[in-house]
Structure 1
Amino acid sequence: MAAIRHVEICNFRGIAYLSWAPKEGINALIGPGDVGKSTVLEAIDLVLGTRRSTFTDTDFHCLNVEQPISIEVTVGDLPRELLDLELYSAAIRGWSAVTSELADEPGEGLEPVITLKVTVSESCEATWQLHSERLAANELPRAMRNDHRAMIMAQRLGSAVGQHLAWGPTSSLSKLSGSGKGMGAALARAGRAARDDFTVADAPALKPAVTAAQQVARDLAVPAALDAIAALDPRSVNISNGAIALHGSNHVPLRALGTGSSRLLAAGLQAKVSRSVPVLLLDEVEHGLEPHRIARLLHYLGSKETESRPQVIMTTHSPVVLRELSAEQLCVARSDIGKTLRLERFGEAERGLLRTHAEAFLSAAILVCEGPTEIGLMRGFDLFWSSCNQLSLAFLGISLVDGKGTPNAQKTALQFSAAGFEVALLRDSDVPPPQNEQTFRGRGCPVFCWRDGHATENELFDSLPPEALPELIAIADKHHTSTVVDTNLGSHGLNKDSITALRTRPTDAHRSILAKAARSGAWFKRIDFGEEVAREVVCPNFTSLTGQLPITIQEIWTWTRRFAPPNDT
């Protein structure tokens, strides 16, 4: 079954350059938005798809029309007809599966492949042709027969898939119907029956016009129109293949289904005819589907199969898809400043992270937080920054990951760094960090933390001005009740009168007791609690903070701005 071995894209839309070797089976492109994943599918479709597109200046990278658009798709596992040396001898090239390198001539140990190329010049005129250095040097013909091209074509399924649920020229149903012998005669009979069945009685509003036409014919001596009637014009009633579609039991066409259901059915039909269309392109595979149907579709496309299946190249922003696929089936899209796009694969080491932190794989950068309190604080600060007209973490493509305490947080951060992500760590300092933190720092990754011996609760109660401390206590009261909070305070040596004084007029001497009670009572050990603390108490008092807290938060803010677009820092 034909499969894409290599894709090379130059100067096309958001991609300055890409060189990528997809694998057989499923290739899921993941990563942050607007990095170029869908553009890869569009480029492949332009070369191997059934349509011909018109181009404008906006299709050139950064509107640079002086450099032509060039898209090359190399295909292997060729059908016997394409290995005909008489037709394509100068077009056959060699592909090394070991080194993922392309040679212009076939050779020992190399798979015979062909390259199809689309070039778009400054005039926005496109050229589709077979490509090899020998063809170019000898000015040989570069055309490919249409029936041969159909053997290696790709089928793209977008949001509009209704044509695949009807019998059309390129639909899956037509391929499943085989030659379609006798279809033309059946359609002609259907057209005649429609015309025979129609009478003016079906549309009474037509009768006055028909009568008027007959009168005019009599007055102007047009004998052929004396008995004029209203009927369906054979030239207008042209029932083609596309007029026959799948219908439900209620006689409603299935292409009227919701987006998710229609895509699911069309993708399944495409998989059924994979021998006819060996490459399937799916943009946003999860679009319109519930998690259980996403899993079913991926299974149907061969996510768990080892035998030869259609090659599938898809994009996704769904953690459900990431958890269903193996690490080897994923390619993360990363872009340099010059928009050289890289599609990098994961391995066995990332399998565990995919199960526990799939969402983070869809981001540009990751801040691993020691626990839910730290995640909540960062979410609260993010809301505060956004309210001050600063770019949000979501805009910057930064995700927050729960490290689930020391030393697991350091381990998680190191694993993400080894997988090629931009990673930072936020932890408290109540216990010494594990040795692997030094390894993490050695990779150039920042660690944000409080003063030695300080947990997050210590830093909060030590940094806020005295008048803000009752606000923290009020949040604890709201979520745990004042009775529980008083019990926590009493367990650290305070009597009823001291607790009353602390609640109304806290002093510096009360700070350590409040921190101990907050830690033992888990006052803020939830993401939403930590978010409320940052949003309602810390941020409004930020200019009055002392100690390490404002310094660390400023360091984190500076780190996050690294991921801002140019001129947006």
Structure 2
Amino acid sequence: MKIRYISISNFRGVNHFEWGLPADSVFCLVGKGDSSKSTILEAIRYCLYPNWNLSIFDSDFFNNDVTKELCIELTIGEIIPEFISDLKYGLMLRGWNKKEKKVFDEPDDSLEIVLTIRLSVSNALEPKWIVVNSRNPDGIEFKTSDRIKACVGIIGAFSERQLSWSSGSAIARITEADNIDESLVSAAREAKQTFDMNRSVLTGFDHAAKKAEVAARHFGVHVSETYKAQLDISSINLKVGGIALHDKDIPLRLLGLGSRRLVLCGIQQQNLENGHITLIDEIEYGLEPNRISRLIKCIRNDKSGQYFITTHSPIVLRELTIDELYIVHNYNGEVTIQSANDNQLRELEIQGKIRANAEAFLSKKVIVCEGATEVGFLRGFDDYLVTKAFDPFAYFGVALVDANGGGKVKKTAQVFKQLGYEVAVFADSDAQDQLSDYDCAELKALSISTFVWAGNVSIEERIMLDIPWNYVLSCLDFAINGLGIPAREQLLSVFPGTLDKQHSEWPESQDLRKLIGEVANKKKWFKNITNASILFLTISELFDSQDYSSCDLYDKMKQLKTWILNDE
């Protein structure tokens, strides 16, 4: 069985969510923290919960509002023949249009036969599972025994139960036995007999039993034979996991977390007859990069079921293809999901963008920077804001992306915008053939904020033209003494006059300011993240004063700060 459509209402952080799935096997959900990725996995698990005793609390309702019904619906395709029978759910069959990704209430020869399963919970906190359609809104009870047949398994941080023979566990589902419960009871009886045969280790227990027998007789309690220590089969309770997988004498639950998750994933794949639905929250958890790669390959090659996974790992993103990647956004409970392989994105070369900027796809806001200088400059800005008691970029979910050139800025910004991220551009204005005024106007029309310097200049030129002369000399000192750059010699090769050997003695002039900026740009004085970050910190004190607020440098950084700190 495979999921075709998901609908979630009033469940945890999700007020409303709908998703029509393509006919694929691997769905990796990514996005910033609290975007409800794990909640979607939990909703699937709850709707196909393999036990009757699902515990629901007020906190499971959106905003704790129990006046509104919690409702999760899954439309399931590739259903087993047993479910199609009129004695089961044959009267509840519906149709699924794969091309339109739409459910039709009446089955049809041109549509895939599907069933819609609904889990609903009212303020009484009693879960109710039914199979529904519009023809019969009251539905038919979807029994626990049938939910087990969906073979849903979640692989999370705590999955030891799945490695023991307990009701609905992964290992129990692949056990070839007519009646597992009967087998477990027989094993308990055998354990009792073995325990009784080894009385030598029970001397202390038997002495206590004799004292209890004397006390019982004293109070007039009839004793059939004699009291002794013995296993109580009902207390052994092998039904809830007393028998577990071992490697020789070591329980597999004692394996490392990553190894346990790999074993469980392998067990899930053994449910081949009816397929399986496997949920893996934080797939990278406990795994080294090479084992992450191996796990994803095994998942991708398994066509017998569906995998829903979440991740916060750039390593995982780089292993995925755009067909497997889905971006999740949560806007005050309204959850949306966007395929990275959307038709509108095909011309934007998104696969390369993911592999080059994987970290950014895990954020909320993205600043597309022209190059390493801009990235480093903003990192210095981030450090500066923290020293002024502002929250860091990370608090607002801001990621910095190096577009590797002005010619790539526009397309990179468009990718992130179409995937639902808040996007800004931070770039030079000196190369109109790479990022023109017309390009910036197009980006603004897409609601992409653009922070581009006035005057057709690079970031180095803008800095040297706007800051006080003593700060220009400080930047020169950093370049010459901090980075070992022969700045004077490089300037003299293009400067029409003479320059003192001591740069601290150079006289201020507008021409020299402009030339320093041009040479710094051309000779790449600060063209890496570390150097550009230090460059910002060299001039950061300027942003404490209103005296220079009229310059373009101050104005653009102030606007950018406003965009970053806006947490709506």
- TM-score w.r.t. structure 1 length? 0.87
The alpha-carbon distance between structure 1 residues 183 and 457, as it changes in their structure 2 partners (threshold 3 A), is: same
- Say whether residues 1:446 and 2:449 are aligned partners: yes
Aligned match of 1:264 in 253, 262, 265? 262
Q: Give the aligned residue type for 2:357.
A: H
Q: Is the 8 A contact 2:3 2:77 kept in 1?
A: yes
Counterpart residue type for residue 466 of structure 2: S
User: Aligned residue for 1:176?
Assistant: 174
**Alpha-carbon contact 1:488-1:520 (below 8 Å) kept:** no
Distance 2:65 2:392 in 1: 31
State yes or no: 1:553 paired with 2:557: yes
**Cα distance change of structure 1 residues 259 and 477 upon mapping to structure 2, 3 Å threshold:** farther
Q: Distance in 1 between matches of 2:258 and 2:408?
A: 39
SS in structure 2 opposite 1:423? Answer: strand
Task: Name the stretch that deviates more: 328-337 or 466-475.
Answer: 466-475
- Say if 1:368 and 1:174 are closer, same or farther in 2 by CA, change over 3 A: same
Q: Which residue in the other structure is 1:11 paired with?
A: 10
Matched, 1:317 2:312: yes
Report the alpha carbon displacement of residue 47 of structure 1 after superposing the two structures with TM.
0.8
Distance 1:304 1:29 in 2: 19
Counterpart position of 1:130: 131
The amino acid that maps onto 2:130 is: Q
Structure 2 Cα separation of the partners of residues 149 and 393 of structure 1: 45
**Matched residue, 1:333:** 328
What do residues 79-137 of structure 1 show as CA deviations (whole Å, max 9, x unaligned)? Answer: 1111112432331112211222222222242222111111122333332211122223x
Q: Secondary structure at the match of 1:429?
A: coil
Larger mean Cα displacement after TM superposition, 384-393 or 73-82: 384-393
> How do residues 527-546 of structure 1 correspond to structure 2 at under 5 angstroms?
527-539=529-541, 541-543=543-545, 544-545=547-548
Counterpart in the other structure of 2:412: 412
Matched, 1:346 2:340: yes
Q: What is the CA–CA distance in structure 1 between the aligned matches of 2:206 and 2:140, rounded to whole Å?
A: 60
Which position in structure 2 is the counterpart of 1:458? 461
The 3-state SS of whatever aligns with 1:148 is: helix
Q: Match of 1:85, SS?
A: coil
Question: 1:391: Cα distance to partner?
Answer: 3.4
Q: Report the Cα distance in structure 2 between the residues aligned to 1:194 and 1:474, rounded to whole angstroms.
A: 83
Render the CA deviation track for 1:429-454: whole Å, top value 9, x for unaligned: 22223464443333232221113232
Measured in 2, the distance between the counterparts of 1:228 and 1:428 equals 90
Contact 2:385 2:392 in 1 (8 A): yes
Matches of residues 332-481 of structure 1 in structure 2 within 5 Å?
332-337=327-332, 339-347=333-341, 348-349=346-347, 350-432=350-432, 433-434=435-436, 436-477=439-480, 479-481=482-484
Q: Secondary structure at the match of 2:29?
A: strand
Question: 2:165, 2:481 → 1: CA distance?
Answer: 63
Residues 45-60 of structure 1: pairs in structure 2 closer than 5 A:
45-51=45-51, 52-60=53-61
Task: Report how many residues are paired.
Answer: 551
Give me the whole-angstrom Cα distance separating, in 2, the residues matched to 1:56 and 1:222.
Answer: 46
Q: Pairwise CA RMSD of aligned residues?
A: 3.2
**In structure 1, C-alpha distance between the alignment counterparts of 2:375 and 2:285, rounded to whole Å:** 29
1:93-132 counterparts in 2 under 5 A?
Answer: 93-132=94-133
Structure 2: distance between partners of 1:489 and 1:476: 13
Residues in 2 aligned to 1:198 and 1:282: alpha-carbon distance in whole angstroms: 47
Alpha carbons 2:49, 2:148 under 8 Å: kept:
no
Structure 2 Cα separation of the partners of residues 449 and 98 of structure 1: 43
1:216-235 superposed matches below 5 A: none
Confirm or deny: 8 A CA contact 1:518 1:524 kept in the other structure.
Answer: yes
Give CA-to-partner distance per residue, 1:433-480, whole Å, 9 cap, x none: 346444333323222111323211112222222232343234324542
Pair 1:34 & 2:34 matched = yes
DSSP 3-state at the match of 1:44 = helix
Q: In the alignment, which residue of structure 2 is the partner of 1:71? A: 72
Residue 477 and residue 243 in structure 1: after superposition, are their counterparts in 2 closer, same or farther (change >3 A)? farther
Percent identity of equivalent pairs: 28
| Aligned partner letter, 1:522 | K
Counterparts of 1:219 and 1:151 in 2: how far apart (Å)?
55
Matches within 5 A, 1:192-231: 192-197=193-198, 199-200=200-201
Between 1:365-374 and 1:105-114, the stretch displaced more is 105-114
The CA distance in 1 between the partners of 2:214 and 2:156, in whole Å, is: 54
Measure how far apart 1:551 and its partner are: 0.8
Residue 152 of structure 2 corresponds to which residue in structure 1? 154
Distance 1:184 1:232, change over 3 A: closer
Q: CA offset at residue 26 of structure 1?
A: 0.6
Q: Which amino acid aligns with 1:65?
A: V
Change (3 A) 1:275 1:320: farther
Counterparts in 2 of 1:269 and 1:198: CA distance versus 1, 3 Å: farther
* C-alpha distance in structure 1 between counterparts of 2:362 and 2:220, whole Å: 77
- Give deviations 1:43-94, integer Å, cap 9, x for gaps: 1111112244332332222233322111111111111111112432331112
